[in-house]
Chain A
Amino acid sequence: MRFTVEGLHRLYLSGEAKPSEIVRAALDRIENDNQRLNAYLTINREGAIDRATSIDAAIRNEISQRPLAGIPVAVKDNLCTEGLRTTCGSRILEDYFPPYTATVVKRLEEAGAIIVGKTNLDEFAMGSSTENSAFGPVHNPHSEEYVPGGSSGGSAVTVAAGHVPLALGSDTGGSIRQPASFCGVVGLKPTYGRVSRFGLVAFASSLDQIGPLATNVKDVARILQVIAGHDRYDSTSANVTVPNYANGLTGNIEGMRIGLPPECFGKGLDPEVREKVEAAIRRMEKRGAQIVEISLPHTKYAIAVYYIIATAEASSNLARFDGVRYGFRAEEARTLSEMYRRTRELGFGAEVKRRIMLGTFVLSSGYYDAYYEKAQRVRRMLVNDFTAAFKKCDVIATPTAPTPPFKIGEKADNPLAMYLGDIYTVTINLAGVPAISIPCGNSSSALPIGLQLIGNHFDEMRLLNTAYAFEQEEGLRNRRK
């Protein structure tokens, strides 16, 4: 079963169901599926039921005032929640209870949402398969031997499995869009600065952005509406007007210019993915969009730039985990320095250490100019690519990932092969633009494939509307089948 905000509100308004019943049913299914899928690290049973019960009687009034009244929502476990364990999928924060709540979670709660739990992720959001969690891998609900993508694997899985209509993830190099693609749901990475990062445990601060996953575009628009906008606790959250996204979804893309960069349809793209994505583009053309060829000439350098900048920022951000103020501390160290080293050695997993090492290397004396500064120069070239492209088109279309989901363990010993799978998603974070992944068909083994649409800075409205038009077209097509 896949449910939506509108569907649940209809049930509540007609009196067919109460929030506490829906939330209880969601929790039962989450608990039941967790042994199989491992999508949750913490399930907020008591808290969620208490909150739902407290609004049962007044639900009609709540719905008139709060856009997400009584809606069960899952939150990625790198978002701080006061009183609710926040692990980041790491041993170093296994028993961490934050003293404050992330702005996005606060806003969801003020909008009436009910937080049902914290979802599993690659440790500190570092990964593309959710195999790097210290608490075991997450399984793809479409076929359990396959990865759900990552790092927001748990959030994508719980939406795909029909536990909740909405979840929050974070996206540093594709961590919302690629799992959305692998699990057959919709996932949006907003413009850098559109959504406050206050309370998101930082991985790479110039790339991180929080965003929604849902079963459909309208619900993505609703949740974005709630979380977007300036926050005084995050100076990088922009003071740019937030339009009414859900009301702006017309489905009309007549004359919309959709740019296709040949650089994203070349070597390394799986033929099945190409076929589905190209078919999707033809359907948008049929709906009135105008297809234009554009170029993103520096795409091939994006992975190299990304893994320099992201790891450099990570090595600095993760220096705070030292066993002093919170989290795990290694026992029996005789000196402070020994305590730091052993705490970090025992507390971090292999991928996190690998990235801290790489980041430390590219920032170290003698290599800084050759790697970090060079990467920042090429980053500017990538940003310029997008600026030029958006002079010729309104939205850019590419595949979300070069392949359908791969098997658990398939890339475990080859970190570079794993990194190369992020080719179409990392450029978007480097340029700071928004992008959405939307399902566009299945592979021959019945695994989902995603279409990525990219918008210009702060132009989520046009981006969402293009995705909405495509979704409507898909709906019509599926009904005709």
Chain B
Amino acid sequence: MPITQTEVEKIADLANLELTAEEKNSFSIQLAAIVEYIDQLNELDTSAVEPWQQLSAGEMITSYTTREDRVEVGLGQEKALDQAPDPDEGQFRVPRVIGG
């Protein structure tokens, strides 16, 4: 299946990526080749097979456990903000959300 540049732009938009013209071009060629390859799965009749799921694979998951839902001490505000590109008065500052 060919992947057009318009399609590449749509996917990039969904993925929050802003691609260069060169990337759009090379991705459209490379993704088309990969998609053509993965299309070989259509050779298989999978109508009688349930999709694999983490928690249903009984032979794999023998004793995965969840812990009790109890409040614990977290990172704390200072540590949580320590790596932020633009922290401001205990918060993460971002450019404006609405408009533009």
Interface positions of A (Cβ within 8 A of B): 96-100, 192-193, 206, 230, 232, 235-240, 298, 300-301, 303-305, 307-308, 315, 319, 322-329, 333-342, 344-345, 348, 350, 353-354, 356-358, 360-361, 364, 371, 373-381, 383, 387, 415-416, 419, 432, 457-458
Q: Tell me if B90 is interfacial: C-beta within 8 Å of chain A.
A: no
User: Complex formed: what's the CA distance from A298 to B27 in Å?
Assistant: 29
Interface positions of B (Cβ within 8 A of A): 3, 8, 11-12, 14-20, 23, 27, 30-31, 33-35, 37-38, 40-42, 44, 46, 49-54, 57, 59-67, 75, 79-80, 82-86, 92, 94-97, 99-100
User: Complex formed: what's the CA distance from A443 to B22 in Å?
Assistant: 39
Give the residue name and chain of the A residue nearest to B80 (CB).
A99
8 smallest beta-carbon distances between A and B, as pairs = A376-B51, A326-B83, A329-B85, A377-B46, A341-B18, A335-B100, A379-B52, A304-B38
Inter-chain contacts of B96 with A (CB < 8 A): 334-336
Give the residue name and chain of the A residue nearest to B54 (CB).
A206
Give min CB distance, B73 to chain A, whole Å: 12
Q: Which of B11, B53, B86, B99 contacts A360 (CB 8 A)?
A: B11
Q: List 14 A-B contacts (CB under 8 A).
A: A193-B60, A239-B64, A301-B41, A325-B80, A327-B85, A329-B86, A335-B100, A361-B3, A371-B38, A374-B42, A376-B52, A377-B50, A378-B41, A383-B52
User: Complex formed: what's the CA distance from A385 to B85 in Å?
Assistant: 48
A-B contact count (CB 8 A): 175
Instruction: Name the residue in A99, A304, A357, A383 with the highest tally of chain B Cβ atoms < 10 Å from its Cβ.
Output: A357
Inter-chain contacts of A364 with B (CB < 8 A): 11, 14
Give min CB distance, A353 to chain B, whole Å: 6
B49 touching A458 by the CB < 8 A rule? no
A335 touching B95 by the CB < 8 A rule? yes
Inter-chain contacts of B75 with A (CB < 8 A): 99-100
Inter-chain contacts of B27 with A (CB < 8 A): 353-354, 357
If A338-B100, A432-B57 touch, does A304 touch B41 (CB 8 Å cutoff)?
yes
B16 touching A235 by the CB < 8 A rule? no
If A335-B99, A375-B41 touch, does A326 touch B84 (CB 8 Å cutoff)?
yes
* Seed contacts A99-B79, A238-B64, A344-B17; 5 additional CB < 8 Å A-B pairs: A303-B37, A305-B41, A336-B95, A338-B100, A377-B46
Give min CB distance, A344 to chain B, whole Å: 5
User: Complex formed: what's the CA distance from A360 to B10 in Å?
Assistant: 10
User: Complex formed: what's the CA distance from A402 to B58 in Å?
Assistant: 32
Give the residue name and chain of the B residue nearest to A340 (CB).
B16
Inter-chain contacts of A97 with B (CB < 8 A): 82-83
B95 touching A338 by the CB < 8 A rule? yes
Q: Which of B12, B18, B67 contacts A342 (CB 8 A)?
A: B18
Give min CB distance, A241 to chain B, whole Å: 10
Inter-chain contacts of A206 with B (CB < 8 A): 54
Give the residue name and chain of the B residue nearest to A191 (CB).
B60
User: Complex formed: what's the CA distance from A127 to B75 in Å?
Assistant: 33
A235 touching B67 by the CB < 8 A rule? yes
Inter-chain contacts of B11 with A (CB < 8 A): 357, 360-361, 364
B15 touching A357 by the CB < 8 A rule? yes
Give the residue name and chain of the B residue nearest to A341 (CB).
B18
Give the residue name and chain of the A residue nearest to B83 (CB).
A326
A416 touching B83 by the CB < 8 A rule? no
